[in-house]
Amino acid sequence: MRIAILYQSLRGGTKKLAESLGTNFQSKGSSVGVFPITNYDAQFVLDADLIVIGTWTDGLFGLGARPGQIGKLNTLRDIAHKDVALFVTYEISPEKSLNGLIEWAHDRSANVVTSAGFKVRGPFRKNIEGDIQMFVENSLSPVEQN
């Protein structure tokens, strides 16, 4: 399985998570490339069986949360009919930003196989190893069945 992971990060948390996801996909036997969404290997992404796309949650901590720096995500080339797995990082709640990201992918006619939020910072620090494992499994199994 060839997996392209594309991330947008402001302060490094989303980048670090993208790299951890990459290591995990690799340990399951996938060939992985991890790139900032504004600077990726186009051929690698084109050949990928799955594109993982992630950004951080922007908002007012509770109000009007949305996917961070969506303008950067909009520079991504055509992903119509591609299998994509989506994630957001957050501190308080991933719900609105994740829904926004899912809507963004649907607007581009991508096939969303799974999505998840990861709490990489903030109060009530949480061990996200299990969340990472689950995301990777939920990403791989629908694509492997194709």
Ligand X SMILES: Cc1cc2nc3c(=O)[nH]c(=O)nc-3n(C[C@H](O)[C@H](O)[C@H](O)COP(=O)(O)O)c2cc1C
Task: Report the interface residues with ligand X, using CB under 6 A.
Answer: 9-14, 56-61, 65, 89-93, 120-121
Question: Quick one: 18 or 51, whose CB is closer to ligand X?
Answer: 18
Question: Quick one: 19 or 49, whose CB is closer to ligand X?
Answer: 19
Pairwise CA distance, residues 116 & 107, whole Å: 19
Confirm if 53 and 77 have CB atoms less than 8 A apart.
no
Structure tokens at 3: 């997996």
In the complex, minimum distance from the CB of residue 92 to ligand X, in angstroms, rounded to a whole number:
4
In the complex, minimum distance from the CB of residue 15 to ligand X, in angstroms, rounded to a whole number:
6
In the complex, minimum distance from the CB of residue 97 to ligand X, in angstroms, rounded to a whole number:
7
Pairwise CA distance, residues 98 & 115, whole Å: 7
In the complex, minimum distance from the CB of residue 142 to ligand X, in angstroms, rounded to a whole number:
26
Structure tokens at 27: 């340990």
Question: Quick one: 97 or 114, whose CB is closer to ligand X?
Answer: 97
Q: What is residue 38's DSSP assignment?
A: T
List CB contacts of 71: < 8 A, sequence separation 6 or more. Answer: none
Question: Quick one: 49 or 58, whose CB is closer to ligand X?
Answer: 58
Give the β-pairing of 50-58 and 66-67. antiparallel
